[in-house]
């Protein structure tokens, strides 16, 4: 087996290696070192790259990766699983989406890949991470979260040829019903699209909500679906579970509130919408009904703001457009 070295972690056949990758420095000179885990089997096979917490307040994927590795027998693998469970450590430590050291704008790590060796802190972090991903990964699974605990949707890189075919196969193996075959001209600078353009099949999962808004049951479900992806790509033996047809949508839309107030949602993730469907109800500070929020177009609910406070201009609902069962 070919050894893989990422930072201080070096793979060994039939074992799990742990270490860290230096991706930058703090203002006091201390290094920013993110955790790396490498599980390698005794047989040749693909290298699957997993990462979570690209945004520092999105923890569900971190827990899924930890759960997978706790139950992973390296001896059963044909190939290697590389996992970076907390990609954006500076943001993670502050419990916020982006690094606190960015100053104006606060660069989004998932919009600056492949990064720059002489760019901002976040761009340098992206460069340090992506140079390793590009060198070692045969396929990528990228974990994110959204608004509420019931969020379960995904997207894959709808690239031409083998990259798109293999990306879709991972999507079907994971089996989240609401899925976007993502056009290659969206999400510029994301790990998903950057990797796909470099020939790496790529899949992104949105599971649960920010912070603690996810359940042990969701983590267990995602972990089993992830094991199914390992079977699908050839890392593990065994039959691949068929989760049935998926609801593909053509693109997505964020709908922002046009007014403020106390807000109570009236729809849930996965609900189908028509134009004019009631998304939620407003109440004034005395608890009296104060109007409704309506969907501006049809689609499927990917995420809904749970409220209870809704200033005008805040994202209210995330809608998948033109859903169709495939």
Element housing 170 (H / E): helix 161-174
Longest dimension (CA), the chain: 68
12-26 in b/e form (b: 16+ CB < 10 A) is: eeeebbeebbebbee
Separation CA 211–CA 94 (nearest Å) = 11
Overall average pLDDT of the 282-306 stretch: 93
pLDDT of residue 106: 56
pLDDT of residue 103: 62
pLDDT, tens only, 222-272: 999 999 999 999 999 999 999 999 999 999 999 999 888 999 999 999 999
Q: Is 294 exposed, middle or buried (0-12, 13-18, 19+ CB in 10 A)?
A: middle
Domains of the chain (ranges, CATH numbers)? 5-233 (3.40.630.10), 249-325 (2.40.50.100)
pLDDT, tens only, 123-157: 999 999 999 999 999 999 999 999 889 999 999 99
Please state whether beta strands 43-51 and 78-84 pair in parallel, antiparallel, or not at all (unpaired).
parallel
pLDDT, tens only, 69-113: 999 999 999 999 999 999 999 999 999 999 998 765 558 999 999
Separation CA 296–CA 180 (nearest Å) = 20
- Segment among 13-27, 78-92, 167-181, 205-219 with least mean pLDDT: 205-219
Q: Which of 314, 316, 307 is nearest to 278 (CA)?
A: 316
Query: Whole-prediction pTM value?
Result: 0.95
């Amino acid at each position: 087996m070919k050894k893989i070295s990422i930072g201080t972690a070096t793979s060994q056949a039939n074992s799990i290696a742990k270490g860290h990758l230096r991706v930058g420095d703090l203002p006091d000179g201390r290094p920013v070192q993110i955790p790396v885990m490498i599980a390698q089997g005794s047989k040749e096979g693909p290298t699957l790259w997993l990462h979570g917490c690209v945004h520092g307040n999105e923890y569900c994927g971190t827990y899924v990766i930890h759960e997978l590795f706790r139950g992973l027998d390296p001896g059963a693998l044909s190939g290697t699983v590389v996992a970076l469970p907390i990609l954006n450590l500076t943001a993670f430590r502050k419990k916020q989406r982006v690094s606190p050291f960015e100053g104006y704008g606060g660069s989004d790590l998932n919009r600056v890949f492949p990064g720059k060796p002489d760019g901002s802190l976040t761009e340098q972090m992206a460069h340090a991470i992506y140079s390793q991903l590009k060198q070692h990964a045969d396929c990528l699974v990228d974990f994110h979260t959204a608004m509420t605990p019931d969020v379960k949707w995904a997207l894959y890189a709808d690239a031409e040829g083998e990259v798109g075919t293999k990306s879709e196969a991972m999507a079907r193996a994971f089996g989240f019903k609401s899925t976007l075959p993502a056009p290659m001209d969206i999400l510029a600078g994301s790990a998903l699209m950057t990797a796909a353009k470099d020939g790496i099949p790529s899949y992104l999962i949105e599971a649960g909500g920010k912070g603690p808004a996810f359940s042990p049951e969701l983590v267990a479900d995602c972990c089993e679906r992830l094991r199914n992806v390992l079977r699908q790509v050839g890392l593990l033996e065994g039959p691949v579970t068929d989760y049935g047809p998926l609801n593909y949508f053509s693109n997505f839309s964020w709908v922002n509130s046009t007014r403020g107030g106390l807000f109570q949602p009236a729809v849930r993730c996965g609900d189908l919408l028509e134009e004019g469907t009631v998304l939620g109800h407003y109440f004034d500070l005395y608890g009296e009904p104060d109007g409704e929020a309506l969907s501006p177009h049809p689609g499927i609910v990917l995420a809904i703001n749970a409220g209870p406070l809704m200033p005008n201009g805040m994202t209210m609902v995330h809608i998948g457009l033109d859903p169709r069962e495939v």
